[in-house]
Structure 1
Amino acid sequence: MLTTILIPFLGTILGSAFVFFMRGAMPSLVQKTLLGFASGVMVAASVWSLLIPGIDMCADMGRMAVVPAAVGLLAGMAFLLAIDRLTPHLHIGNSKPEGPRSRLSRTAMLSLAVTIHNLPEGMSVGVVLAGAMQQGSAITSAAAMAMALGIAIQNIPEGAIISMPMRAEGNSRLRSFTMGALSGLVEPLGALLVVALASVLTPALPYLLAFAAGAMLYVVVEELIPEMSEGEHSNIGTIGFAIGFTLMMVLDVVLS
């Protein structure tokens, strides 16, 4: 179980290490490709690893089986929207911070933006693991591993997208790597919290699966796709999305 939880964090660490091997800012073409790839992985994971299993768990409700998924999805989006509004943060490539006014440094606000991004990913791994731990659940340990691998794969380019701009902001390579790597620490912590509460949360598991999906989809629609679509090379981001979506879909189906 611990290995599954740590796999996404290792992906962030590996991606953040790119700052030691790449000089200057990350080319726009590469960044848009990676943003599209991360978006595709998260959308596919939301559908195949979270929403569909949640609906399947409520099959005895007949046509009403979709209700927990719908409620959880909207609640997850509302939760991320609230955090987005209440937390001072700065998105990569933007000069104007979002959220309430703050005296935090640009580096700190960049880190907070990424932490907001990573929180639903950690929750997603944790809730799928929690489902796999429940007897009689349709969710398997292989499905949890597929989710962890998919998130880890998209965390590799994400880690680079974080550490490289921090280097461009004037931070040292070591500091940029450290900040990039630590931005992923919220993922195993979020996963561990959900797993620890698994026995208490069992009745609400279908809602939690959809909640995690809603939170991830919020990040994709609010942050990743707009950044991917700005300026030139937006079609490259779309290709990255297709590759990421297909890869996560295959992982989920083959390993489940």
Structure 2
Amino acid sequence: MEVPFFSVLNPLEQTLIGTFFAWSVTALGASTVFITRRVSRKLFDALLGFAAGIMLAASFFSLLLPSIIPSFQSDEAYYWVPVTIGFFLGAMVICTADIALRHLNQKNRDQNSISARTSTEAEFESKTILVLAITIHNIPEGLAVGVAFGAASLGVMGADMAAAISLTIGIALQNFPEGLAVSMPLRAHGMSKIKSFWYGQLSSTVEPVAGVIGALFVVVAQPLLPYALSFAAGAMILVVVSKVMPESQKEVNKNLSAFCFIIGFSIMMIMDLALS
């Protein structure tokens, strides 16, 4: 599928457009605080399941497959090594960041219980930790978009412009419930609409930066492309498995969440296969 408008742009321009679009959908999700103070748990779980399905399908069809196909068709005996290393590194980076954030959050709670700090100081630290956590989990999404456009510009088999665009659309779709998931609890706990929206959209501001880094990396260091693609996939899949799906399965809406997961996965799969 030809995409004339994007074809005349360089990978950095394509990445910036794609990641800013993904950010705008996060902001749209966060803006729901201006309409309502609460969202039903059933709808929230359904949206989380849908987002997890999209992320998992995007990780496989738009990142892992393009990293596997060229390696598989090469003459190297251990063609699977770059993909495996990148995949594990992506997962380990996010896992390590999660452990560090949990330690930081626990330290913050302990200080709150034993010190005489003001509620303002405690609230500021809690918000900082929240923003850090969401920011870290958004880095793989921006990285994935940048790597996808970079791979498409290099003509890598299994990676093309349409696939990169479908990945961007998929990430944008799952960003809507993400923005809602950050801003709505803050609003429910009494934070103002403006502040709740601000923190909700702030979670995706890192995506354009990560995207540009990803695009630059694969264009400048083409031999490392399989590592970069699988790294982004590993990081995204770990976020789905350790964060998104467990959160959607906490309440009584497990079947609904699972069904929405299948819907999200199917939509992303269709988009990727139909547009490629």
Q: Same fold (TM over 0.5)?
A: yes
2:165 is equivalent to residue 151 of structure 1: no
Give the length in aligned residue pairs: 249
Deviation at 1:61, TM superposition (A): 3.7
SS in 1 for 2:257: helix
Residue matched to 1:246: 266
Per-residue CA shift, 1:114-153, capped at 9, x if unaligned? 1122111111111111101214554111111111000001
2:135 is equivalent to residue 115 of structure 1: yes
Residue matched to 2:17: 3
Residue matched to 1:65: 79
Identify unmatched segments of 5+ residues in structure 2.
1-13, 112-121
SS in 2 for 1:242: helix
Tell me which amino acid in the other structure corresponds to 1:86.
A
Per-residue CA shift, 1:193-246, capped at 9, x if unaligned? 122233322111011100001000111111111111113111111011111101
Q: Which moved more, 1:103-112 or 1:79-88?
A: 103-112
SS in 2 for 1:117: helix
SS in 1 for 2:39: coil
Identical columns (%): 39
2:154 is equivalent to residue 126 of structure 1: no
Per-residue CA shift, 1:92-128, capped at 9, x if unaligned? xxxxx35887765332222222112211111111111
CA distance in 2, matches of 1:11, 1:46: 19
Identify unmatched segments of 5+ residues in structure 1.
91-96
2:107 is equivalent to residue 87 of structure 1: no
Residue matched to 1:162: 182
TM-score by length of 2: 0.84
Taking only aligned residues, the RMSD between alpha carbons, in angstroms, comes to: 2.0
Asked whether the equivalents of residues 69 and 157 of structure 2 are also in contact (C-alpha less than 8 Å), the reply is no
Describe the shift of the 1:21–1:87 C-alpha distance in structure 2 as closer, same or farther (beyond 3 A).
same
Residue matched to 2:54: 41
CA distance in 2, matches of 1:190, 1:106: 24
CA distance in 2, matches of 1:229, 1:89: 24
CA distance in 2, matches of 1:75, 1:105: 29
Residue matched to 2:117: none
- Structure 1 runs of 4+ aligned residues shifted over 4 Å read 98-104
